[in-house]
Each structure stands twice: as C-alpha cells, then as structure tokens.
Structure 1
C-alpha cells in the first residue's frame, strides 16, 4: 500500500496567504500609486521634480520600516502606561512607551517636516503618507507640534527668550533632536467648551504659574504644550506655552510643577498616551493677546489640527482601498475572485471614489491655504480687502466641513473595506484596517465633534451674510461645477438659514437640523467631486 505524502502541519490543506501578503508588503505607497502621483504633479507645478524626488526617496521608508514599527507597537501588551515613582520614591510620572514607538517617532520627527528647509508640498505629501500608518502614536504629536510652531511663529516675544528656544527646538531641532508639542485645552466640565475653562494662571512678572486640572491631554509625553487657562481675576481665556521640564530637569525626570494622574483607555489611537494632568504651580509663558486666548487657540492651533485630520482621512482611505483591492484580487470564494462579484465590485468602486475624492479635496484646500497670506490669523479682519476676506472665510468653512465630513465618511469607508476581507477583516494581526477604523472614529470626536462643527458653520454663515451672501459663498466654493448645481445648493442654503436649525427643540427644529446635516455632507462631497474632476 502506497502512502500519500501530505503537509500534516496544515492537515493536508496547502492553502496559503503568502501571495497576498507578499504583494501587500512590497507595495511602495507613493511610487505605486499613480493617482496620488498625478495629484502631486498637478499641485506642485515647477517644484514637481524636486518634490517627487524627495517623495520617491522617502516612500520606501514609510511603506516598510515605519509600517513594521507601527504594526508591532499596536499590540495591546505594549500600550503606554504610567510609572509614577522611581526606585527611590521620587515622583517622576514617566510615560512608558514601547521601543518600536520611540523608534518610529525618531524617524518621523527626524524628517524635520516643519523646518524652514523643507518645501510645504513635500511636507504635506510626506504627512499624508505617514497618516497611512494610522495614528500609530506619532501623527497626533506631529499635528500638535505643527500647531505649537505656528503659534510661536505668529506671536514672537522678545521679552521671553524661552519661547525662541522652544521654537528652535520644535521647528529646526537642536543637535538633531526635534522636540514634541501637545495641546491641553479640555477640562472635565466641557471638552470643546473652552470658555468654561477653570484652570488658573497666576501672574509672576513675565511668566505665570498654573493651578488646576486638564482632563483630556493627548501627547502626554510631549516636551512642550499649548495650554489654555484664565488669568487670576479675569473671565477671559488666555493661551500659554508650558515646558514639561525646566532646563536640566528632563534627565532627572522632574516635571515642571504638574503630575499626570493616569493614562486614558480609549477605543482608538491606543498607541497615543492621553492623560489627565494636575497642575500645581507649573511655569507657563503667555503667547498671543491675553484677552483673545480662545481666538488664538481655535484660529491657529485647532484650525491646523482640523486641517490635518482631513489629510489623515485621505491617507486612511488610500490605504483602505489599496489593501481591499489587493485582497479582492487574491481571494477566491465559490469559484470566483471577490472582485468579480457585483456586490463586492460596487463596494470597491465606492471606496476608490471616496479615497480619490478625499485626497483631491485635501490637496485643493491645502492649495488655498498656501496661497493665502497669514491664513491662520485669529478672526477675519474687517480692514482686509473684501476678496481676501471672502477667501479666508471660504478656507475657514472648508476646513470645518472637511474635518466633519471626511471623518464621518472615513468610518464608512474603513467599515466597507473591512467587509471585503470577510472574517479576516476583523483580525487585528491580519490587517491594519480595524486599528485605523478605530482611529478615524476617535478623529471624528476630537477637535470638535460633528454637532459642534455643524453649529459653528451655521453661525458663521449667518454672521457674515451682510457682506458675503450665501449664494455667492456657494458659487465661489463650487466654482467649476454645473450652474444648475450651484443654483440648487444656493436655494437650499438660503432656505436653511431661515429655518430653526439652532432653535428650541421641537419637531420643526429637529427636521431643520436633519436637513442641515444632510446639506453639509452633500455640499462638501460636491466640492470634493469638483476637485477630483480637476485631476482626472
């Protein structure tokens, strides 16, 4: 009798995922994405050759080495935790993070993405590629650092040389070390409600001492943070820069007058340490006008964060489409490849369109951002030329719409991409998509959840109506689409601005609120579609 040789380790089943895994891991996220390269070429103009060369050099690192580090750091057993005391009972509040996250952070920040030596478009696309990792414990710190740098650049203070040193450390680096920034604004009584801040800033000459609590502080391991507080005896929120350690104290792990109570347990961005901080005399440096802290924090820091979230969603969706497409071309079920079933094909078509729309829209908004002089000034000044005022207003609303709409659609896109994988789609070690799905849901909540932004956009449009008619706003934002489409959205917007969207709760106001929500989504998708048409 002849015995048939078989692979007993697999029970005689020769099936393997090797082909899919090999193809996925060999993809160069920029070089092998013709759509992204086409968008970059359109927007970089005469800088294209230099920018593409830099991206082609960088992309293999993010596609392979950075991605491997991000995947390893995502395991639950290595998530950040607090070490409050050292062996000698000294309070140190050390945020313990895995070696992989620290290596990834070194690589990402080592690119000097906000240095004066890097072109804005090169930085932009590199960040979009980095966002394809998911949050990964590095992209929120990167975003917060950008906001801190912009704030310091907008309000230089010769009387506080410490701020100049902080700017140098975060923007250009010191001896190859790039500092990390954070923004601590939320308090327990109101996350986005900054006027409700109770943290107290006690003046002492040119500096201040902080007392009180901040309840939701991402990037708890940062070197410097942007903190909002009320100066003693005032009811106006001011903005401050707070070093985590005073000179010479970082090596001793002696914090600057504050303690980190704990690290939050979040549904997403789990690699990112988000803490609760108790201030007890932390030294802080004022930045910007003392009576306009909210305008400073929102107009500069949060605007950049919201802008970055749109860039992140583009990265998330590009990765979702790439991996779902590769798997659908590999996996065979019931005798056919997944991609050859109409129900799967329609999902892939939607994911592709959403990814490309979101990417094209992000580029178009950033292009407007770069073309406007001082786009981050808090508030729109009445003495500016009317055309500039309108463009600044367009940018403000587009950033809000992008943040709100792309995070909402991003969750849909990631969920649809996961479904292409079937049961394997929810396996954490099989795909990055479950982790990125949780990250996009978290992104939807911070820097202003959906209802807050819907309210803000509505109020903004009402407030400027006397010098910027709703129909003109629609026409300017949707320039390039069909006239009948512009007229339809104009009529809808004019009608909605007369309805009780922000009125007392009753059936009429809830219906109006529902119409407003739907309008904003449809309006922004139309903007994205125009941006996509300009590419293809």
Structure 2
C-alpha cells in the first residue's frame, strides 16, 4: 500500500466477550427462579460473544438457503439446502435446550433458563431462532391431542439435532414448523381456503396453498385448514411412516429483507396426509397455544437484538475519537448510548419477567396465567416495535462504518422489523390486548395488580398508572386508540419491573424519560440528572 494508507482512529475488532455479563439478564434469571441454570447460561454467553460464532452467523446469512425441487432424475424432492454454519448454530441451540427441552424439565425456572439462553444465542444470529422457537411452541398445541403428544413430544424435546427428511419415528430429534398464512387472508386465518377432507383411515388430506411458511425443512408443520366442522388444526409430516414424501410441495423461497439464513417458503398441499390436533372446528383455539409461546420469543429475540446493538455501538464509541475525545466521552453521545442501553435493559427485564410468568403458569399458577395473557401480548407489541428504531440509532452511532456490512450493524437492522410482523403485526397485537381485556377480566385484574406492586415510589410512574386507569375506563373509540393504550400499558409494565428490581438510578432514568413528559421516542434525550455512567457500566461487554 502507498505510504498515505495509514489506518488509525478505527475501532478494533469487537473480539471475544461474554454476552452473559449482562446484569439485567443475570438478575432476572435469579429473580425468576432459574439461578440453578446460571453456569450453563454463562457458558452459552461465552460462545455467543465469540468471534467464532459471529462468523457462523455471517456465513449463514451470506450463503443463503437454496431450493431444490427435483433430483437429477426428475423426481420431486422439495428440499432446501442450507449453508453448513446454519446447521452448526441449530445443533448448538438444540444441544443447549433452547427448543422444546423445558417441557421435559420438571425444575421450576426451566422456561426462564431457556429464555435466557435463547436471548443470548439470538445475538450473533437471529434467523435460525425461528425453527427453534416453533419447536418450543409446538408442544403445548400438540397436548390437545394426547396420542400425538405422546408420540412426538419426546423427540421434540430431545437435545439432538437430526437434520434431513426421514420418517419422524426413526429420528433422534425433531424440528417443528408452523404453516398458517394464506395469500388472501394474512392475519385473518378464518379466511383460509385450504380444505381438509376426512378419509376412512382416520386421517385427513389437505389441499391448498400456504403463502408464508418458515423453516420448510421442518419434520412436521402445524397448520390450519377448513374441515367439515370448520377451521381446524392439523399436524402435517414432511415424510410418511413408510419413508415416502408427503404431498407437500415447495413452490418457491421468499426473497426477504432480513432473516435470510432461515428459509421461508410457499407450500402447496396436494392431498397431503394430515392428523387433526385438538377438537374439530376449534383450530384457532388450538393453535393459539403455539402463538402465545412464539409471541414470547418475539419479545426475547428483540431484547437480544437490542443488547447486541448496544454492544456494537458502545464498543465503537469507546475506541473512536472525535474532536480530541473518545466518542463515549462526548456528552451528547453519552446521552444517546445511555438511552440505548436503558431501552435494552428495560426490554431484558420485561423479557425475564414474562418468561417467569410462563414458567409459573405452566405449573398451575392461575394468577400468573392471567397476567401472562395480557403481559405477553403487551410486551410483544411494544418491545418488537422499539427494536427497529433502536437498531437504527445504534447503527448511526457508528456513522458510515455502521452502514457497511462488515460492522454487523446492517444485518441487525434488517432483522429488526421481523418480530413486530411475525405472529401478528402491531395492529393485530394491540387489538388482541383489547379482546383479552374484554373476555378475561381476571387478566386485567392481574395486570393492574402487577402495576400496583410498584406504586408509591415514583411520582411519574404513579401519574402514568392513573392515566392508564382512566384510559381503560374510557371505551369511546377504544379500537382507534388501541396503540396508544397498549403503549402506555407496556411502558408502565416495564417501569414496574425496573422500579422493583433494577438499581434505583436505572429505574428513575427510565420513568423520568419515558413517563415524565419527555418524548422517550428520540434516543439521546435523557435529562441531566440521569446517572449515565452507571447505565453504561451495566451495558459494557466484558472480556
């Protein structure tokens, strides 16, 4: 290179760090009853923060899945080829029990431990989390049909990743998918036109076109189709017991904005063999068990993405100089970085609280079941909505370097809108909250009880809860106002968790900036009195 090509004032590579050195995560893990899993969570964090695993994520998104509809002889095969790094990421995720393993773990806190590991493992690469999440979520839906659950649940929860199209009963472990969306219906699944015809052998045959199916190499899918009794839920295997392929054809793979390591496809059912799950005509009720679990994972994944974005931004700012100071020493940049870290911590604290509610509800805690019904929907709406703005601001902290693929920020940014769309976009999530409040008064009582537990210690919070009570009591055009109502529910819920469990300066910074009259929507608008050093210390990656 010519002598003019001297490289200086550039941030060093991020290098290896422990992603589990995350106070909000570890505090939540212990608080929600999963302290026993801390060693394994830290082990996952060491791997997730390594250059090696980040390179797997980069490879899996650079060399994206390829569809092979036929083999060399012209036989229909409908197989998707993935980059090898994708399989390594999947193997590790399954091996650490981030899929359906908690359903087979009797220890209290098992679902919290799983959430913590999923949060960490999503940070270097988010796309493979889709089949991991759907496998986790398939179990409670399958339990509506005990025979199917008995047959498949042990394989879904097994800690072995056994890729390839073979008869499910002969595999060491299974991966499940979900196939509901149709082109004419979208979120309105009752508009689905796929038909399910009963047979004399006791199963159904499905005919129809599914518009968006993620992870098409899954061993089976849970899907919705119109049976004679009405919209019903079905299990559709890729391979039949005799080893032949089911009549399920991949028409094409979607060319997506992000989530590129994970294949998403259009599927054609051409008389595909399917087994009914749950009661005939009650398909939505059956599949909602799966949706509730995947909505939780949307919160977890977005919280993990925020944490990764803060790590990149803070690392850059601590190494880059501008106007004679490191960026992190510049007052306005400190404000932005601390605000990003504050948003990330609030998302992580809420995520662990929601995971705790899931864990206790599956163990029979009725109060937590009621809280979970609203809490997960509220969290899904808000945390996933915050991630794209958060990713954009973190990318801007790197300036032009953040717009370059090598920085890792463009992939984080492209992936950031997905969780807000998946499992019901913002409008669907907000309206679901309203429906849940109308149908389940006990859920409203549990939610407001959660907020009441933090009352009396912060004036901004108390005023916001009072405003929420007033808003919930006003039913005039409430659907029109649904987003503003659910936003306030979400921010007060985050504040409640922080006020009770986070360091006081963190909680106060959040309430004053989000509830105290500030916008809270433009990052970098924290008031002067905020302890930015404490907030940044809790966010710094540890090596």
Is the contact made by 1:470 and 1:493 (CA closer than 8 Å) also made in structure 2? no
Q: How far does residue 468 in structure 1 lie from its aligned partner after superposition? A: 5.0
The structure having more radius of gyration, on CA atoms, is 1
CA-to-aligned-CA distance 1:185-206 (integer Å, 9 cap, x gap): 0111111111111111111232
Q: Partners in 2 of 1:188 and 1:175 — Cα distance?
A: 32
**Alignment correspondent of 1:4:** none
Please identify, of 87-96 and 518-527, the stretch whose mean Cα deviation from structure 2 is larger.
Answer: 518-527
Q: How far does residue 501 in structure 1 lie from its aligned partner after superposition? A: 3.3
* Equivalent in 90, 98, 109 of residue 75 of structure 2: 90
Q: How far does residue 239 in structure 1 lie from its aligned partner after superposition? A: 0.7
Q: Partners in 2 of 1:139 and 1:109 — Cα distance?
A: 10
Q: Would the alpha carbon gap of residues 260 and 35 (structure 1) be closer, same or farther in structure 2, given more than 3 Å must change?
A: same
TM-score normalized by structure 2? Answer: 0.83
CA-to-aligned-CA distance 1:322-352 (integer Å, 9 cap, x gap): 2211111111122222122232222111111
**Alignment correspondent of 1:437:** 413
Is the contact made by 1:134 and 1:439 (CA closer than 8 Å) also made in structure 2? no
Q: Partners in 1 of 2:218 and 2:444 — Cα distance?
A: 42
Q: Partners in 1 of 2:277 and 2:117 — Cα distance?
A: 29
Q: Would the alpha carbon gap of residues 143 and 398 (structure 1) be closer, same or farther in structure 2, given more than 3 Å must change?
A: same
Q: Partners in 2 of 1:184 and 1:394 — Cα distance?
A: 28
Q: Partners in 2 of 1:357 and 1:400 — Cα distance?
A: 16
CA-to-aligned-CA distance 1:408-435 (integer Å, 9 cap, x gap): 111111111001000111111222x221
Is the contact made by 2:65 and 2:262 (CA closer than 8 Å) also made in structure 1? yes
* Equivalent in 420, 427, 431 of residue 397 of structure 2: 420
Q: Would the alpha carbon gap of residues 14 and 412 (structure 1) be closer, same or farther in structure 2, given more than 3 Å must change?
A: closer
**Alignment correspondent of 1:491:** 470
Q: How far does residue 440 in structure 1 lie from its aligned partner after superposition? A: 2.1
**Alignment correspondent of 2:167:** none
Q: Does 1:403 align with 2:409?
A: no
* Equivalent in 487, 512, 521 of residue 521 of structure 1: 487
**Equivalences for 1:257-268 in 2 at 5 Å?**
257-268=247-258
CA-to-aligned-CA distance 1:243-294 (integer Å, 9 cap, x gap): 1112353xxxx53111100000111111111100111111111111112110
Is the contact made by 2:295 and 2:376 (CA closer than 8 Å) also made in structure 1? yes
**Alignment correspondent of 1:66:** 53
* Equivalent in 14, 27, 40 of residue 38 of structure 1: 27
Q: Would the alpha carbon gap of residues 275 and 469 (structure 1) be closer, same or farther in structure 2, given more than 3 Å must change?
A: closer
Q: Partners in 2 of 1:268 and 1:222 — Cα distance?
A: 20
Is the contact made by 2:95 and 2:160 (CA closer than 8 Å) also made in structure 1? no
* Equivalent in 486, 493, 496 of residue 530 of structure 1: 496
**Alignment correspondent of 1:191:** 186
**Alignment correspondent of 1:228:** 224
**Alignment correspondent of 2:448:** 474
**Equivalences for 1:497-516 in 2 at 5 Å?**
497=475, 499-502=476-479, 513=480, 515-516=481-482
Is the contact made by 1:173 and 1:179 (CA closer than 8 Å) also made in structure 2? no
Is the contact made by 1:414 and 1:436 (CA closer than 8 Å) also made in structure 2? yes
Tell me the C-alpha RMSD between the 2 structures: 2.3
**Equivalences for 1:247-262 in 2 at 5 Å?**
247=241, 249=243, 255-262=245-252
CA-to-aligned-CA distance 1:206-241 (integer Å, 9 cap, x gap): 21111111111111111111111111x33x211111
Q: Partners in 1 of 2:202 and 2:301 — Cα distance?
A: 38
Q: Partners in 2 of 1:98 and 1:174 — Cα distance?
A: 19
**Alignment correspondent of 1:367:** 356
Q: Does 1:297 align with 2:287?
A: yes
TM-score normalized by structure 1? Answer: 0.84
**Equivalences for 1:14-413 in 2 at 5 Å?**
14-15=7-8, 17=10, 20-21=12-13, 24-30=14-20, 32-44=21-33, 48=35, 50-64=36-50, 65-75=52-62, 78-113=63-98, 114-115=100-101, 116-117=104-105, 119-136=110-127, 138-157=128-147, 164-172=150-158, 177-204=172-199, 205-231=201-227, 233-234=228-229, 236-247=230-241, 249=243, 255-298=245-288, 300-373=289-362, 388=366, 391-413=368-390
Q: Would the alpha carbon gap of residues 463 and 13 (structure 1) be closer, same or farther in structure 2, given more than 3 Å must change?
A: same
Q: How far does residue 94 in structure 1 lie from its aligned partner after superposition? A: 1.4
Is the contact made by 1:474 and 1:489 (CA closer than 8 Å) also made in structure 2? no
Q: Would the alpha carbon gap of residues 43 and 67 (structure 1) be closer, same or farther in structure 2, given more than 3 Å must change?
A: same
Give 3-state SS (helix, strand or coil) of 1:262's partner: strand
Higher relative contact order (CA 8 A, sep 6+): 2
Q: Structure 2: which 5+ residue stretches go unaligned?
A: 163-171, 457-461, 504-543
Is the contact made by 2:131 and 2:177 (CA closer than 8 Å) also made in structure 1? yes
Q: Would the alpha carbon gap of residues 471 and 396 (structure 1) be closer, same or farther in structure 2, given more than 3 Å must change?
A: closer
Q: Partners in 2 of 1:471 and 1:399 — Cα distance?
A: 15
Q: Would the alpha carbon gap of residues 173 and 290 (structure 1) be closer, same or farther in structure 2, given more than 3 Å must change?
A: farther
Is the contact made by 1:84 and 1:93 (CA closer than 8 Å) also made in structure 2? yes
Q: Partners in 1 of 2:160 and 2:351 — Cα distance?
A: 32
Q: How far does residue 37 in structure 1 lie from its aligned partner after superposition? A: 2.3
Q: Partners in 2 of 1:293 and 1:438 — Cα distance?
A: 33
Q: Would the alpha carbon gap of residues 370 and 16 (structure 1) be closer, same or farther in structure 2, given more than 3 Å must change?
A: same
Q: How far does residue 175 in structure 1 lie from its aligned partner after superposition? A: 9.3
**Alignment correspondent of 1:378:** none
Q: Partners in 2 of 1:27 and 1:266 — Cα distance?
A: 30
Q: Would the alpha carbon gap of residues 15 and 452 (structure 1) be closer, same or farther in structure 2, given more than 3 Å must change?
A: same
Q: Partners in 2 of 1:58 and 1:454 — Cα distance?
A: 34
Is the contact made by 2:161 and 2:174 (CA closer than 8 Å) also made in structure 1? no
Q: Partners in 1 of 2:80 and 2:242 — Cα distance?
A: 19
Q: Structure 1: which 5+ residue stretches go unaligned?
A: 1-7, 376-386, 503-512
